[in-house]
Amino acid sequence: MNRKLLIDKVGIEGIRFYDAYRKNGGYVAVEKAFKMSPADIVEEVKKSGLRGRGGAGFPTGMKWGFLAKPEGVPRYLVCNADESEPGTFKDRYLMEFLPHLLIEGLVISSYAIGSNRTYIYIRGEFKWIIDILEEAIAEAKNNGWLGKNILGSGFDCEIYVHTGAGAYICGEETALLESMEGKRGLPRIKPPFPAVKGLWGCPTVVNNVETLAAVVPIINLGGVEYAKIGIGKSTGTKLISACGNINKPGVYENGMDISVEEFIFSDEYCGGIPNGKRLKACIPGGSSVPILPANLLLKTAKGETRMMTYESLADGGFATGSMMGSGGFIVLDEDQCVVRHTYTLVRFYRHESCGQCSPCREGTGWMEKILHNIEYGKGKMSDIDLLWDVQSKIEGNTICPLGDAAAWPVAAAIRHFRDEFEWHVLNPEEAQERNFGLAHYADPIEVAVA
């Protein structure tokens, strides 16, 4: 079974453009889909077991099934192309090299849920990709795959690219919808969920780029065949963007039925750790998911081989496991400082907090200050417990999951690397000296934490 269903065609000359894409089997899935009913397509997606590739891993067919269908009210499909999670760079790869694959997936998905106006929400920093998408949409329209009465089906569909101003929070689906409506990107309280009240108050499906692209091989193969790839509830193929201390950073597609060890060390994927260094830890699913030390990364706490599946990466819960998240796989070698790393992440979350909820707005600020002090040799032992306390008050107490995303990395860093935090407290001069050359990267904050 081919385990490269999405990016196998990258490298074919001209594949970014319509002619080459069509010559290489492009839009065949649309032809097949228009011979099916929308309900049958939803059923195929359910059978495929496809789970959302944006982070939460929610079953896509089930999400489509929840869509409210009141008479006379438009429904919308919004493709989430914000890709704001640090360490994640798979969607931009897909859009840059295979824009027609995404458009093909959007046409089929729009037909399945009845969206006549479909949007790609993308951050403004991706200017070059926005241009690529606009060109591909024009090509698709000129060749009859978009517009009125597509393939004589009676179904009309237009795709619009909507540019955001580049804020992490606008990747959260309800903040994204607010942004599309021309407002500040502030997450909405759920319920109501977008499937009931989404864009301009209408039923809306928000899906990730990779999720929607995966609909193409699902229709081509059939849901049942697609589900045969992978293990358990981790069906189909998954794009992983790998970075950090590895020999071959890049975007890889795999069937999820490979071990983490194979993914990191085999030449087919990351190619091992450079300069003969040892593996220290890994954040397997983008910056928001818990960091795992090497001993829990390659084997679970039960001693089983850790696989690249949703289930195996989460095995052990947050005590000894992590998450697939958005597939942003960040590898740390033995030279990396977990305290510094956690501080960098928390600075990001503090900066990106929209400020609506006190635990997130205040908590991220406090965590940043405490971590700054520990990292720069001004911390006390009690600060480690204080940090633990602050993160625990954020988790589960906010409108959107950004608060959790800020708390989880801190909790995991303390849980697995408490000795490094203590080292910084016990060795303030060395901690400061070691950071001397990096000091210009830090905010000049000097805060005494009582």
Ligand X SMILES: Cc1cc2nc3c(=O)[nH]c(=O)nc-3n(C[C@H](O)[C@H](O)[C@H](O)COP(=O)(O)O)c2cc1C
- In order, the DSSP letters of 64-101 are HHT----TT--EEEEEEE---STT--HHHHHHHH-HHH
Q: How far is the CB of 303 from ligand X (least distance, A)?
A: 31
Q: Is 353 in the site for ligand SF4 (CB under 6 A)?
A: yes
Find how far residue 349's CA is from the centre of its chain: 16
Among residues 181 and 433, whose Cβ is nearest to ligand SF4?
A: 181
Contact between 209 and ligand SF4 by CB under 6 A: the answer reads: no
Q: Which of 150, 345, 402, 412 binds ligand SF4 (CB under 6 A)?
A: 402
Q: Say if CB 229 and CB 237 are below 8 A apart.
A: yes
DSSP symbols for 205-272 = EEEEHHHHHHHHHHHHH-HHHHHTSEETTEES-EEEEEEES-SS-EEEEE-S-SBHHHHHHSTTTT--
Least Å from the CB of residue 67 to ligand X: 13
Smallest distance, Å, CB 173 to ligand SF4?
Answer: 12
Among 219, 279, 357, 412, binds ligand SF4 (CB under 6 A): 357
Residues that bind ligand X (CB under 6 A): 52-56, 58, 80, 82-85, 168-169, 171-173, 206-208, 211, 400-402, 405
Smallest distance, ligand SF4 to C-beta of residue 183, A: 14
Rule CB under 6 A: choose which of 204, 403, 408, 411 binds ligand SF4.
Answer: 403
Closer by beta carbon to ligand SF4, 2 or else 358:
358
Stretch that binds ligand SF4, among 38-46, 270-278, 352-360, 415-423 (CB under 6 A): 352-360
Q: Which residues of 126-151 are buried (b: 16+ CB within 10 A; e: fewer)?
A: beebbebbeebbebbbeeebbeeebb
Toward ligand SF4, which CB reaches closer, 151 or 186? 186
Binding of ligand SF4 by 360 (CB under 6 A): yes
Q: How far apart are CA 312 and CA 259, in angstroms?
A: 9
Please identify which residue in 101, 102, 169, 331 interacts with ligand SF4, judged by CB under 6 A.
Answer: 169
φ, ψ for residue 234, nearest 5 deg: -100, 80
Q: Give the pair of three-digit tokens for residue 416.
A: 């697995």
- Candidate ranges 5-13, 76-84, 367-375, 392-400; the one touching ligand SF4 (CB under 6 A): 392-400
Residues 6+ apart with CB under 8 A from 150: 30, 34, 107, 111, 144, 156, 157
CB of 191 to ligand SF4, least distance (A): 15
Closest CA to 16 of 89, 94, 83, 92: 94
Residue with tokens 């999670």: 85
C-alpha distances in angstroms, 257 versus 233, 270, 289, 310, 369?
11, 16, 21, 10, 41
Instruction: Say which entry of ligand X, ligand SF4, none residue 379 contacts (CB below 5 to 8 A, set by partner kind).
Output: none
Q: Does 312 bind ligand SF4 (CB under 6 A)?
A: no
CB of 113 to ligand SF4, least distance (A): 27
Q: Please choose, from the candidates 107, 194, 108, 122, the residue with its C-alpha nearest in 3D space to the C-alpha of residue 159.
A: 107
**Binder of residue 354, out of ligand SF4, ligand X, none (CB less than 5 to 8 A by kind):** ligand SF4
Q: Which is nearer to ligand SF4, 210 or 352 (CB)?
A: 352
Residue 355 engages ligand SF4 in binding (rule: CB under 6 A): yes
Helix axes 99-113, 209-221, angle to 10 degrees: 80
CA–CA distance, 350 with 371 (Å, rounded to integer): 12
Give SS3 for 131.
helix
Q: Choosing among ligand SF4, ligand X, none, which partner's interface includes residue 353 (Cβ < 5 to 8 Å by kind)?
A: ligand SF4
Question: Which partner from the list ligand X, ligand SF4, none does 139 bind, CB cut-off 5 to 8 Å by kind?
Answer: none
Check whether the bond before 191 is cis (ω within 30° of 0).
yes
Write the binding mask 128 to 167 for ligand SF4: x where contact by CB under 6 A, - elsewhere: ----------------------------------------
Cβ neighbours of residue 182 closer than 8 Å, sequence gap 6 or more: none
Asked if 187 touches ligand SF4 (CB under 6 A), the answer is: yes
Q: Is the preceding peptide bond at 293 cis, omega within 30 degrees of 0?
A: no
Shortest distance, CB of residue 171 to ligand SF4, whole angstroms?
A: 11
Q: Which of 356, 373, 391, 435 binds ligand SF4 (CB under 6 A)?
A: 356
The verdict on 177 binding ligand SF4 (CB under 6 A) reads no
Residue that the structure tokens 């095995």 belong to: 315
User: Among residues 170 and 258, whose Cβ is nearest to ligand X?
Assistant: 170
Q: Site residues (CB under 6 A) for ligand SF4?
A: 169, 187, 353-357, 360-361, 398-400, 402-403
